[in-house]
Amino acid sequence: MMRESAIEITGLRKTYAGHKGTAPKEALKGVDLSIPAGSIFGLLGPNGAGKSTLINILAGLVVKSAGTVKIWGFDQDVNPRQSRASIGVMPQELNLDPFFTPREALEVQAGLYGVPKADRKSDEILEMIGLSDKANAYARSLSGGMRRRLLLGKALVHHPQVLVLDEPTAGVDIELRQMLWNNVRKLNDLGMTIILTTHYLEEAEEMCDEIAIINHGEKIAQEKTSDLIGQMDQKTLVIQPETPAAQIALPDGVTMDTRRDGALAFSYRTSQVSPEQVLASLRDANVAIRDVRTEDPDLEDIFLALTKSGD
């Protein structure tokens, strides 16, 4: 069954109650979000933006304060069982029971979701996450990477239509990252909708068809990835001068920062200024250049640009 939207969120709010004198925290301030079925969708935002809160509401782990959430067409409040069955979540925290082996962990999870024994695919899942040879090992003997893979496996036991991964690659090595992405692509090819959160723009750029950016509990952008990246024509030219530079007359539209190591960072929009103009201003100021490189915009720049333009 194919749907236009895998997830439909309207007016989603979450306020965490304050504890012992701390003020209540408004983590989500009325988010509308529609996630196309069949996509790999990126939810981006800095730490504290509200990503995990949103994910955990989808997962049924956090109770929303207001708004509606539909998962695969099922309203969480109206059809809680069906909406829960439609989604699998790989959480950010490594919350595994140390007393279960990987196989047991998958079986128990399948039991919780009411998957009949005959429909369970524990061996297949263990194979996919590369834990077949650890199937009966004590969980406490598993490395951090293996635990993370097991969490992915647990999210898949009930064959959900939507898979959510909360910061799956934060702090993991390249090999595991590669394996996760291969798995994600494979699952997506099989028709599964994938939602992942990350604060690495590069990763989102490489993996996601569409991206939403949230900041301070509000959605500030949602675009096809290529459109979002295309908007960002900010460039930074970083020059290491031979000697500390004297006065430089900057072309219009260029700002300069002095880095701690003495490098000069010139930022400009490629639609307004050419690198040649920047270099010419350096020649005019008789700056001898020891080294030069460029930097592309990162998520931080995109935030700045988006929040400045007032959307």
Which residues in this chain contact Mg ion in the complex, by CB under 5 A? Answer: 51-52
Q: What's the closest the beta carbon of residue 52 comes to ligand ADP, in angstroms?
A: 3
C-alpha separations of 62 from 65, 83, 185, 235 in Å: 9, 15, 28, 40
Q: Is 136 helix (H, G, I), strand (E, B) or coil?
A: coil
45 is a contact residue toward ligand ADP (CB under 6 A): yes
B/e letters for 223-253, b = 16+ CB within 10 Å, e = fewer, are eebeebbeebebbbbbbebeeebeebebeee
Identity of the residue, 45 or 297, whose beta carbon is nearer to Mg ion in the bound complex: 45
Bridge partners of residue 221, in order along the sequence: 213
String of contacts with ligand ADP for each residue 3-32, x by CB under 6 A? -------------x--------x-x-----
Instruction: Identify which range of 45-53, 112-120, 156-164, 295-303 contacts ligand ADP by CB under 6 A.
Output: 45-53
Question: Residue 121 is encoded by which pair of tokens?
Answer: 């695919």
Identity of the residue, 101 or 198, whose beta carbon is nearer to ligand ADP in the bound complex: 198
Q: What's the closest the beta carbon of residue 300 comes to ligand ADP, in angstroms?
A: 15
Q: Which does 47 bind (CB under 5 to 8 A by kind): ligand ADP, Mg ion, none?
A: ligand ADP
Question: Residue 144 is encoded by which pair of tokens?
Answer: 């951090």
- Show contacts with ligand ADP in window 128-187 (CB under 6 A): none
Bridge partners of residue 166, in order along the sequence: 197
Q: What's the closest the beta carbon of residue 31 comes to ligand ADP, in angstroms?
A: 11
Helical pair 144-156 and 174-189, crossing angle rounded to 10 deg: 10
76 is a contact residue toward ligand ADP (CB under 6 A): no
Query: How many Å apart are CA 163 and CA 57, to the nearest integer?
Result: 14
Of 49, 184, 221, 302, which one interacts with ligand ADP (CB under 6 A)?
49
Helical pair 102-112 and 144-156, crossing angle rounded to 10 deg: 30
Q: Which does 267 bind (CB under 5 to 8 A by kind): Mg ion, ligand ADP, none?
A: none
Query: How many Å apart are CA 155 and CA 52, to the nearest integer?
Result: 16
Residue number closest to Mg ion, CB atom: 52
Q: Which does 297 bind (CB under 5 to 8 A by kind): ligand ADP, Mg ion, none?
A: none
Question: Residue 290 is encoded by which pair of tokens?
Answer: 């020891």
Instruction: Classify residue 275 as exposed, middle or buried by CB count within 10 Å of its CB (0-12, 13-18, 19+).
Output: middle
Instruction: Identify which range of 51-59, 182-190, 222-230, 282-290 contacts ligand ADP by CB under 6 A.
Output: 51-59
Instruction: Identify which range of 46-54, 99-107, 118-126, 301-309 contacts ligand ADP by CB under 6 A.
Output: 46-54
53 is a contact residue toward ligand ADP (CB under 6 A): yes
Identity of the residue, 129 or 195, whose beta carbon is nearer to ligand ADP in the bound complex: 195
Number of residues this chain uses to bind ligand ADP (CB under 6 A): 11
Q: What's the closest the beta carbon of residue 57 comes to Mg ion, in angstroms?
A: 13
Query: How many Å apart are CA 3 and CA 193, to the nearest integer?
Result: 10
C-alpha separations of 84 from 56, 57, 80 in Å: 12, 11, 6
Q: Which does 45 bind (CB under 5 to 8 A by kind): ligand ADP, Mg ion, none?
A: ligand ADP
The residues binding ligand ADP (CB under 6 A) are: 16, 25, 27, 45, 47-53
